Amino acid sequence: MPNLPKPRLRRPGRRSELVGPASPPEPQTPRVEQIDAAGLRWVNIERPGALERAWLEEHFEFHALDLEDVLSRNQRPKIDVYDEYLFIVLHLPVFDRAAKRLGAGELDVFVGPDYMVTIPNQPLQPVEYLFERCRSKEELREQLFSRGSGYLLYRLVDDSFDYCFPMLRKIGNKLDALEDDIFDGRSDEVVRDISNVKQEIINFRKVIRPQRPVLRDLEKVKQRYLANDLDLEIYFDDIVDAHERIWDMLENYKEVAEALAETNESVISHRVNDILRVLTSISVIVLPLTLIASIWGMNSKVPGEGGETAFWAVLGAMLVILLGMVGYFRKRGWL
């Protein structure tokens, strides 16, 4: 009998005649925050995507390569100079709580005569704090915005680098605590802590060091491209000085961490040497006693064998030798 075709069963919920047409997706809006005051506009875009890039292309005439740099995650700190604006890339230290280590957060900034666009690739506390203060406090907003985009840029960069000092103080406190732990007898336990602090200092230096030429270039070009801000010389010099202070503190902490590592190794080595000295002294003290016991324990005939008096005489001689060697070792400082 020929095989009959099996009927195709419809699963519940799959009946197309009962399903209406799919509703169109809701239009997405770019995540853009703006503050306007005194003829100056501050635009903040956190973690930009394709939608935010399209918004930037629509509202500003930025170079295409700069927009690509905004979406890229592997940019070095730099400053690009154009006739109409400046494009600045800065890196700020950020503590990653998940990885428990210090990393770098990127901040891209476009600065023109009447606007400033900040684009952090992750939440940066100094940027968020200054933006929220300007949005909520009218007096501060008028004070900052009325002095032009150059002064607003100075406040943003200055607050960002000032944010580094509390982090540096925490590193300094860790180094002080490690020093106390080393001399409190916990040398073996702090080896990993010293390694973590040294890695934290190295990561901090990797973030701060590339900024030096950027700040120097910014100090040179600010007058030409931000012509309305004629009194910013001393302000941008202050940013450079703050950066140098941060770098000097990192250099100092690096030397302190290396010194602590060497000190910890010395303490551990000294402790091992003390243990070996005690063990060696015990071995030397026990050696003549073992020799005497071996001689009188031989199978061949020895003087006094089998006599109780000889046993106590040998035992007394061993005790005298033991006390004499212990006294001699203590007098020489070996025990």
Instruction: Give the H or E element holding residue 80.
Output: strand 78-81
Q: What is the DSSP track for 291-303?
A: HHHHHHTSSS--T
The runs of H, that is alpha helices, within 95-232 are 125-136, 138-145, 149-162, 164-183, 191-208, 211-225
Say yes or no: 228 and 151 in one domain.
Answer: yes
What's the one-letter identity of residue 240? V
> Does residue 10 fall inside a structural domain?
no
Given this model, what pLDDT does residue 2 score? Answer: 44
Q: Is residue 228 part of a domain?
A: yes
CATH number, domain with residue 228 = 3.30.460.20
Give me the pLDDT at residue 16, please. 39
- Are residues 101 and 215 located together in one domain of the fold? yes
Residue 78 contacts residue 216 (beta carbons within 8 Å): no
Q: Return d(Cα 139, Cα 133) in angstroms, integer.
A: 10
Query: What is the per-residue pLDDT for 132?
Result: 92
Q: φ and ψ at 112, to 5 degrees?
A: -125, -175
| Residue ranges, the chain, pLDDT below 50 | 1-20, 229
- CA gap 184, 130 in Å, rounded: 43
According to the model, what pLDDT value does residue 335 have?
Answer: 66
Q: Indicate whether 161 and 209 sit together in one domain.
A: yes
In this structure, the answer to whether residues 140 and 186 fall within a common structural domain is yes
- Pair (41, 88) in one structural domain: yes
Tokens of 212: 């030096």
Q: Cα-flanking dihedrals φ and ψ of residue 236, to 5°?
A: -70, -25
Q: Is the pTM of this model over 0.75?
A: no
The number of distinct structural domains making up the chain is 2
Domain annotation covers residue 144: yes
Residue 102, beta-bridge partner list: 95
Rounded Cα gap, residues 47 and 63, in angstroms:
19
Tell me, yes or no, whether 243 and 313 share the same domain.
Answer: no
Distance CA 196, CA 101 (A): 8
Contact present, 116 and 43 (Cβ < 8 Å):
yes
Pair 140, 247 in one domain: yes
72 alpha-carbon distance from chain centroid = 22
- Asked if residue 127 is part of any domain, the answer here is yes
- Domain assignment of residue 206, yes or no: yes
Q: Is residue 4 part of a domain?
A: no
- The answer to whether residues 118 and 107 touch, using CB atoms and an 8 Å cutoff, is yes
Among left, alpha and beta (phi > 0; psi -120 to 50; other), residue 262 is alpha
Count of CB atoms within 10 A of residue 137's CB? Answer: 12
Residue 246 inside a domain? The answer is: yes
E strand map for 27-143: 33-37, 40-44, 78-81, 86-96, 101-112, 115-120
Boundary (domain end) residue, out of 249, 267, 285: 267
- 261 with 204, same domain? yes
Verify that 257 and 281 share a domain, yes or no.
Answer: no
Amino acid at 79: I
Same domain membership, residue 113 and residue 58: yes
Among 267, 296, 312, the domain boundary falls at 267
Residue 26 lies in a domain: no
**Domain CATH code at residue 327:** 1.20.58.340
User: For a pLDDT cut of 70, what percent of the chain falls above it?
Assistant: 83
Q: Residue 287 belongs to what domain range?
A: 271-331
Task: Determine the pLDDT at residue 330.
Answer: 77
Q: What is the pLDDT of residue 334?
A: 66
> What is the average pLDDT value for the chain, to the nearest integer?
80
Q: Look up residue 106 and give its two tokens.
A: 């990127």
Domain shared by 225 and 324, yes or no: no
